Amino acid sequence: MIKLILAAAAAAAFAAVPSFAGDTAEETCYRYFDGNGAGPDYTEALSHCREAAEQGKARAQYLLGQMIENGKGTAADQAGALEWYSKAADQGYVTAEAVVGAFYFKGVAVKQDTAEAVKWFKKAAGKGEPTSALALFNIYAYGNGVTQDYAEAAKWVRIAADKEVPAAEAALGTLYLDGLGVSENNEEGIKWYRKAAEHGYAQAQHLLGLAYLNGQAVKQDTAEAVKWISKAAEQGYADAQADFGSLYYSGTGVRQDDAEAAKWLLKAAEQGNADAQEAIGTLYFTGSGVKEDYAEAARWFTKAAEQDKPDAEFTLGRMYLKGAGVKQDAAAGEKLIREAAEHGSEEAKAYLKELSGK
């Protein structure tokens, strides 16, 4: 019985090993790379993909580039990867064209060259490849190495948006709302924001929520505003967390709750959001939703002041003058108050005016 069991186990084991006899190097390359249901074997794939790549097979050249770039079955080598990606791109293999464009744009294993990157991105995007289309949007919208051109940006981002790339959908929405490169159209702008938001893109959820909150390009609706801002906040998007906290603090669209406001503001502040840092500092200073703690207030005001938030600079300056939560330091306090005035704080300006009149 034991022999029968062992024999059956051995037969099953051998049956699980794919038979590639008679396959070409190209077919064997793909099977080992894809795993054929058993997980990839990059060591075997490397050998067969190299053989197929040297025979001029474009996909094999691309896969070989991937393995060499990521150190799969061999040592990682960016320059070696680019060599094979380029061979595949030269044959019109669209994914390789996109990758070569990215190598040139980032200056990976080659001198940074935006013109060369744009050339390859256009080849790929012209075939509908969305990451290249989105890259071209960013290049033209922000003038990264080219003359800023919103019409060109809109042309390329639409390709990615039509492929349901959420970041592209949101970008196209902004172009329509601001009339950049396209005719201003609020309905189209909100339509694209909603598409991106429904695809789970946090930035679009936040922007859509703000549109409803402020009645911009859409009828004001605080319930919709809360719905979308909360979705973005729950995804960890700091700007949305800051605004969600503010909604709780003011009781806009939700039950007023200082503790809940503090919870969301703290999440945003910890991610470096300056408005949230300033706001949570104020809550610690006043003991609203959290236990009053001048030292903690000073810590957050300091972080906000480092980002030139004038109200934080002014309050922190007065704390230094009085030694509240920090060691008393008149020079530091006056410096912060002057910086607050320079950054537009009316309270700081009035304080300095009153001080000079004494």
For residue range 203-262, list pLDDT tens digits in order. 999 999 999 999 999 999 999 999 999 999 999 999 999 999 999 999 999 999 999 999
| 17 SS3 class | coil
Per the listing, tokens 């938030």 go with 309
Q: Residue type at 195?
A: K
CA distances from 158 to 134, 155, 169, 348 (A): 9, 6, 8, 47
Shared domain for 101 and 174, answered yes or no, is: yes
Instruction: Look up the CATH number of the domain holding residue 216.
Output: 1.25.40.10
Buried b (16+ CB within 10 A) or exposed e, 285-295: beeebbeeebe
| Whether residues 64 and 101 fall in one domain | no
CA distances to 12, 62, 172, 205, 346 from 153, rounded to whole Å, are 57, 28, 9, 22, 40
On whether both 113 and 194 belong to a single domain, the answer is yes
Could you give the maximum distance between any two Cα atoms of the chain, in Å? 106
Structural domain contains residue 260: yes
Torsion of CA 350, 353, 357, 358, to 10 degrees: 60
Please tell me what DSSP assigns to residue 185: -
- Is 245 in the same domain as 208? yes
One domain, residues 187 and 259: no
Residue 355 is predicted with a pLDDT of 85
Give first-to-last CA distance, the chain, whole Å: 106
In this structure, is residue 9 part of a structural domain?
Answer: no
Each residue's pLDDT tens digit, 259-280: 999 999 999 999 999 999 999 9
Other residues' Cβ atoms within 10 Å of the Cβ of residue 241: 28
Q: Are residues 168 and 221 in the same domain?
A: no
264 Cβ contact partners less than 8 Å away, ≥ 6 residues apart: 233, 241, 242, 244, 245, 248
Q: Does residue 352 belong to any structural domain of this protein? A: no
Residues spanned by the domain of 135: 93-199
pLDDT value of position 7 = 39
Number of structural domains (the chain) is 3
Residue-level pLDDT at 22 = 53
Q: How far apart are CA 285 and CA 61, in angstroms?
A: 62
Give yes or no for a contact between 175 and 207, defined as CB atoms under 8 angstroms apart. no
pLDDT tens figures, 142-187:
999 999 999 999 999 999 999 999 999 999 999 999 999 999 999 9
Question: Other CB atoms closer than 10 Å to residue 340's CB: what's the count?
Answer: 28
Looking at the structure, tell me whether residues 161 and 175 fall in a common domain: yes
> Which letter does DSSP use for residue 18 in this model?
P
pLDDT of residue 13: 35
pLDDT value, residue 307: 98
The reply to whether 70 and 155 lie within a common domain is no
CB neighbourhood size of 80 (10 A): 17
Secondary-structure percent of the chain, ordered helix, strand, coil, rounded to 5: 70, 0, 30
CATH number at residue 41: 1.25.40
Question: Residue 18 — pLDDT band, cuts 50, 70, 90?
Answer: very low
End-of-domain residue from the set 74, 91, 108: 91
User: In sequence order, what are the residues at sequence separation of 6 or more whose Cβ sits closer than 8 angstroms to the Cβ of residue 45?
Assistant: 29, 32, 33, 63, 67, 72, 73
Give the C-alpha separation, 161 to 306, whole Å. Answer: 37
Boundary (domain end) residue, out of 275, 297, 329: 275
Q: What is the mean pLDDT of the chain?
A: 93
Share of the chain above pLDDT 70, in %: 93
User: For residues 342 and 337, what is the distance between their CA atoms, to the nearest angstrom?
Assistant: 9
Residue-wise pLDDT for 27-61, tens only, equals 999 999 998 767 899 999 999 999 999 999 999 99
313: in domain: no
Is it the case that residue 340 has pLDDT exceeding 60? yes
Say whether both 41 and 86 belong to one domain.
yes
Give the domain-ending residue among 199, 229, 262.
Answer: 199
Whether 115 maps to a domain, the answer reads: yes
Mean pLDDT of 134-140: 98
Asked if residue 214 and residue 189 are part of one domain, the reply reads no
Q: Does the pLDDT of residue 11 top 60, yes or no? A: no
From 13-22, 31-40, 76-85, 190-199, the region with the lowest mean pLDDT: 13-22
- Confirm whether 86 is domain-assigned: yes
Percentage of the chain with pLDDT > 90? 91
Residue 298 in domain = no
Q: What is the pLDDT of residue 36?
A: 74
* In a domain? residue 331: no
Q: How confident is the model at residue 3 (pLDDT cuts 50, 70, 90)?
A: very low
pTM above 0.95, yes or no: no
Please indicate, yes or no, whether residues 219 and 244 belong to a single structural domain of this protein: yes
